[in-house]
């Protein structure tokens, strides 16, 4: 399952401040935060699902097209506004492409664990079709 969360922002002439706080706009306590930067427009990333990890993805700068697929429905979201966060939980395949000057922040509820990854699309389809 995935959906967009609108983040509170406070703007004035000196700039914009955007807030995430648990539990209001952050559905879990964060144990890890990583950033994806120095991206280029022609190389896509992602191509995996997580078995149990929950994530929030925010484009801090620029834009990226994120395709999310839960095995039944597939949707592409243009993420180009730091006040919009994508919340992903459950087994969702993600592909990120068309990076344009983008810095992505990914907030996670758990530590990095390769065993939590599904990197093979056929395996992903088998697992989601069993549910
Ligand atoms: P990867 O998951 O393949 O990136 P993407 O989702 O953008 O396709 O991760 C790239 C590399 O970084 C891979 O060698 C694993 C490593 N990595 C960590 O060591 N810790 C982390 O928290 C993450 C997310 C990745």
Q: What is the pLDDT of residues 5-22, one digit of tens each?
A: 999 999 999 999 999 999
Is residue 46 in contact with ligand 1, taking CB distance under 6 Å? yes
Q: How far is CA 115 from CA 16, 52, 55, 96, in A?
A: 38, 10, 16, 21
pLDDT at 41: 84
Total of domains in the chain: 1
User: Which atom of ligand 1 is the closest one to the Cα of 36?
Assistant: 7
| Rg of the chain on CA atoms, in Å | 15
Q: Indicate the pLDDT class of residue 109, thresholds 50, 70 and 90.
A: very high
Asked if residues 83 and 6 have their Cβ atoms less than 8 Å apart, the reply is yes
Range of the domain at 78: 2-8+19-126
73: CATH? 2.60.120.10
Q: What mean pLDDT, rounded, does the chain reach?
A: 96
pTM metric for this prediction: 0.95
CA distance 85 to 59: 8
Active-site amino acid positions: 48
Q: What is the mean pLDDT of residues 44-67?
A: 98
Structural domain includes residue 26: yes
Please give the distance, rounded to the nearest whole angstrom, from the Cα atom of residue 25 to the centre of ligand 1: 25
CA distance 99 to 115: 27
Asked if residues 39 and 64 have their Cβ atoms less than 8 Å apart, the reply is yes
pLDDT of 130 higher than 90: no
pLDDT of 131 higher than 80: no
Structural domain includes residue 53: yes
Beta bridge partners of 93: 69
What lies within 8 Å, CB to CB, of 34 at 6+ separation is 105, 106, 108
Please give the distance, rounded to the nearest whole angstrom, from the Cα atom of residue 110 to the centre of ligand 1: 14
Is residue 35 in contact with ligand 1, taking CB distance under 6 Å? no
pLDDT of 101 higher than 90: yes
pLDDT of 37 higher than 80: yes
Structural domain includes residue 14: no
Structural domain includes residue 88: yes
């Amino acid at each position: 399952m995935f959906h967009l969360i609108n983040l509170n922002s406070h703007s004035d002439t000196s700039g914009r401040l955007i807030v995430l706080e648990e539990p209001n706009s952050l559905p879990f306590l964060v144990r890890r935060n990583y950033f994806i930067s120095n991206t280029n427009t022609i190389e896509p990333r992602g191509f995996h699902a997580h078995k149990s990890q929950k994530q929030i993805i925010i484009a801090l700068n620029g834009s990226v097209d994120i395709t999310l697929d839960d095995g039944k429905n597939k949707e592409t979201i243009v993420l180009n506004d730091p006040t919009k966060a994508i919340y992903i939980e459950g087994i969702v395949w993600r592909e990120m492409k068309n990076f344009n000057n983008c810095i992505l922040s990914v907030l996670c509820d758990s530590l990095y664990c390769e065993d939590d990854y599904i990197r093979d699309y056929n395996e992903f389809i088998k697992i989601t079709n069993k549910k």
